[in-house]
Amino acid sequence: MAKNILIVGGGLAGTIVANGLCRQLAPQLRSGEVVITMLGTTETHMYQPGLLYVPFGRIREHELFRDQRKVLDRRVIFHVDPAKHIEVAKNQVSTEGGRTLKYDYLVLATGSRIMPQTIPGMAEGAHWFYDLEGARKLRDALSKFEGGKIIVNANAPHKCPVAPLEVTFMLYDYFKGKGLLDKCEITYTYPIGRLHALEPVALWAKPEFDRLGIKYETFFNTEKVDPEAKTITSAEGVTMPYDLLVTIPPHQGAQVIVDSELGKGGWVPTNTKTLHRDGSTNVFVVGDTTNIPISKAGSTAHFEADVLIDNLASLLTENRMARDYDGKVFCFIETGTSTGTYVWFNYTTPPNPGPPSQMVHWFKLAYNRLYWLSAKGLL
């Protein structure tokens, strides 16, 4: 009887797991002892970090997408058929297309999504770049913008924690390049009492903002946006006018997780080291889907996926877990349109970003292409 591994979600985390398992379980796949199936929501795989460059015209849209079937190892059975109900008590998942799939091991990789609609007026009054449609609209708005008050507004929780800083620095460079800086006032808002969740990054960003004349408002959690009056108001009682509002909307996990009662807000309670769903021995969670209190980022998904591949392969071939996830996260930080830095940390090692350089920026640009090797499980 074949062992069935079912992966729900075809984003970066699910894709790396699927491809990595194919490499580690090649003999078992060949003999039919193991079957790997993935349920995705779309035929295409999107390089999400590339969206940051779309508003500035620094990446072509076609570079963001690949055919998911070509990214996946051909041995993965891939259905574009979103999961509708996940029943962990019965070891089965039903789909919108009417399938019912049984599994021996389940990997939940359903990801996260932006929820601007949860804040009154945000969907109507703000721009964002966390999906292609939003990034296109922001690109159009920027091309017509002739100056005024720009607010970059980060909301909790959000994925890619450095993106709010990156887009702020890139907006500064963009306006400088267009000769509009003297007509622009950029204000950055952040939910907690400093400029970034990572204290060393916040300490680095503050003098940079001061040097560039970028204003900031901390302890700012958006309560409402008034698209008519063009104002944004925080739960802390601050109201600011804007001409262009670039928001990082609050996120939630996938609706199927909520509907299946697997986690409030779509975040699945997960063991921080083994990545088991709490209460399950054959259900694992990876990427943004977990409720682990670390960054929701592609690198987190990548490092978790590497551990999960080893553990699943080990369970199937040696009946034991291989190793723990150590909380590793690595993030590039674009500090403008020509320099960048990076930061890494894990559960026990605090972050310590280095000085920005052109070299790191170029490496980030190279990674925009190397990503596809990560998704294939080669990097």
Residues forming contacts to other proteins in the complex (CB under 8 A) are 118, 156-157, 161, 191-193, 197-199, 219, 221, 235-237, 250, 264-265, 272, 293-295, 327, 329, 345, 347-348, 350-351
d(Cα 151, Cα 322) in Å, to the nearest integer?
47
Report the nearest approach of other proteins to the CB of residue 137 (Å).
25
- Choice between 19 and 189, CB closer to other proteins: 189
- Choice between 140 and 236, CB closer to other proteins: 236
- Choice between 64 and 301, CB closer to other proteins: 301
Q: What is the 3-state secondary structure (H, E, C) of 169-234?
A: HHHHHHHHHCCCHHHEEEEEECCCCCCCCCHHHHHHHHHHHHHHCCEEECCCCEEEEECCCCEEEE
Report the nearest approach of other proteins to the CB of residue 343 (Å).
9
Do residues 37 and 5 touch, judged by C-beta distance below 8 A? yes
Do residues 128 and 116 touch, judged by C-beta distance below 8 A? yes
Do residues 231 and 241 touch, judged by C-beta distance below 8 A? yes
Phi and psi angles of residue 302, each rounded to the nearest 5 degrees, phi first = -65, -50
Report the nearest approach of other proteins to the CB of residue 79 (Å).
31
- Choice between 319 and 348, CB closer to other proteins: 348
Report the nearest approach of other proteins to the CB of residue 237 (Å).
8
Report the nearest approach of other proteins to the CB of residue 4 (Å).
32
How many separate helices (H) and strands (E) can be counted in the chain? 10, 21
Strands 92-95 and 83-87: antiparallel
- Choice between 129 and 345, CB closer to other proteins: 345
Q: Which two tokens stand for residue 265?
A: 């807000």
